[in-house]
């Protein structure tokens, strides 16, 4: 049988979400309980009741991907401080989905990888969406944005991001419409203010409400004056980080002036 360490190592290496609970204050310092999303558990912190409560908390924490110390009573009671348990969570990687296989996509895909995202590049045009052009991406998909989102939209959550870089209403509109019903945390669309105004008209015609459109960050990125694909990619990932952390950083979508 594999040890707890071996299971933990293998889960992390094969990207299976896993939580490792360690008793760091209490009678059996160092006791371990490994928990996976499926409910699979290995080890014990010293009692069935405690293990059940910690397993439940660990599975909830896995979704958010946070690691922290939780306090419990001897039987896992909440609001008691007899035991301290460090719950270390290794969530699945957040997912960055980029629509449009353009030059900006290469830089954004590389930035996304640097930040630990699983990166998918999607474009309906076969000549552009090739592995050779995007070797850094985890997947390159030749398909229409709405069709890809029909397949994967249900899996997108608050830590994930969708960036629409096509600049072409034919692709942008179905990409945005496909992303709006999902739980994705970040939804940004590239284009000047003028491009976005035209896109908004199209989206409203398609039945999207203006309240829904408030979720769309466009022009995409933070206002750092970036011009090149690489600089623009930094401004986009910076906006993704700022939205997740709830920090106030000036977004281009909140300003008025020219974006360059």
Partner 1 sequence: MDEIFDDIERWFAAGEKVAIARVVDIEGSGPRDPGAAMAVNARGEVAGSVSGGCVEGAVVGEAIELLEGRKKAGITSFGYSDDEAFAVGLTCGGTIHLFIEELDW
Task: List interacting residues with partner 1 (CB under 8 A).
Answer: 3-5, 9, 12-13, 22, 24-25, 29-30, 32, 43, 66-69, 86, 88-90
Other CB atoms closer than 10 Å to residue 195's CB: what's the count? 17
Shortest CB 31 distance to partner 1, Å: 9
Query: Whose Cβ is closer to partner 1: residue 87's or residue 175's?
Result: 87
Cis-peptide, bond into residue 219, ω within 30° of zero? yes
Distance CA 252, CA 28 (A): 53
Answer whether 47's CB lies under 8 Å from 53's CB: no
Shortest CB 12 distance to partner 1, Å: 5
139 CB-near residues (< 8 Å, 6+ apart): 119, 120, 121
Query: Whose Cβ is closer to partner 1: residue 43's or residue 185's?
Result: 43
Query: Whose Cβ is closer to partner 1: residue 89's or residue 109's?
Result: 89
Shortest CB 176 distance to partner 1, Å: 33
Shortest CB 188 distance to partner 1, Å: 25
Query: Whose Cβ is closer to partner 1: residue 60's or residue 69's?
Result: 69
Distance CA 188, CA 176 (A): 9
Query: Whose Cβ is closer to partner 1: residue 88's or residue 231's?
Result: 88
Other CB atoms closer than 10 Å to residue 129's CB: what's the count? 20
Shortest CB 22 distance to partner 1, Å: 6
Query: Whose Cβ is closer to partner 1: residue 9's or residue 125's?
Result: 9
Cα–Cα separations (whole angstroms), residue 224 to 180, 239, 253, 259: 27, 10, 12, 9
Answer whether 131's CB lies under 8 Å from 257's CB: no
Shortest CB 70 distance to partner 1, Å: 11
Query: Whose Cβ is closer to partner 1: residue 12's or residue 78's?
Result: 12
Helix H or strand E encompassing 67: none
Shortest CB 27 distance to partner 1, Å: 13
156 CB-near residues (< 8 Å, 6+ apart): 95, 97, 162, 179, 182, 183, 184
The DSSP-derived string for 147-180 is HHHHHHGGG--TT-EEEE----HHHHHHHHHHHT
């Amino acid at each position: 049988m594999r040890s707890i360490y071996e299971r933990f190592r293998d889960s992390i290496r094969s990207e299976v979400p896993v939580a490792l609970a360690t008793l760091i204050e209490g009678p059996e310092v160092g006791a371990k309980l490994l928990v996976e999303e499926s409910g699979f558990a290995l080890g014990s912190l010293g009692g069935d009741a405690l293990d059940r409560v910690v397993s439940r908390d660990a599975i909830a924490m896995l979704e958010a991907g946070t690691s922290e110390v939780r306090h419990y009573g001897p039987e896992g009671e909440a609001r008691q401080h007899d035991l301290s348990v460090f719950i270390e969570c290794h969530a699945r990687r957040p997912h960055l989905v980029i629509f449009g296989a353009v030059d900006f996509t290469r830089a954004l895909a590389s930035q996304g990888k640097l930040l630990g995202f699983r990166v998918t590049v999607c474009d309906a045009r076969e000549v552009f969406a090739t592995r050779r052009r995007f070797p850094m991406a985890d997947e390159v998909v030749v398909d229409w944005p709405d069709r890809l989102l029909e397949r994967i939209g249900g899996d997108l959550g608050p830590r994930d991001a969708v960036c629409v870089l096509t600049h072409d209403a034919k692709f942008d509109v179905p990409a945005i419409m496909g992303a709006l019903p999902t739980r994705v945390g970040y939804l940004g669309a590239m284009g000047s203010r003028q491009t976005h105004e035209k896109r908004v008209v199209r989206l409203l015609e398609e039945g999207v409400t203006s309240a829904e459109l408030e979720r769309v960050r466009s022009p995409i990125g933070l206002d750092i004056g970036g011009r090149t694909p690489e600089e623009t990619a930094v401004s986009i990932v910076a906006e993704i980080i700022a939205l997740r952390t709830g920090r106030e950083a000036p977004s281009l979508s909140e300003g008025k002036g020219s974006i360059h």
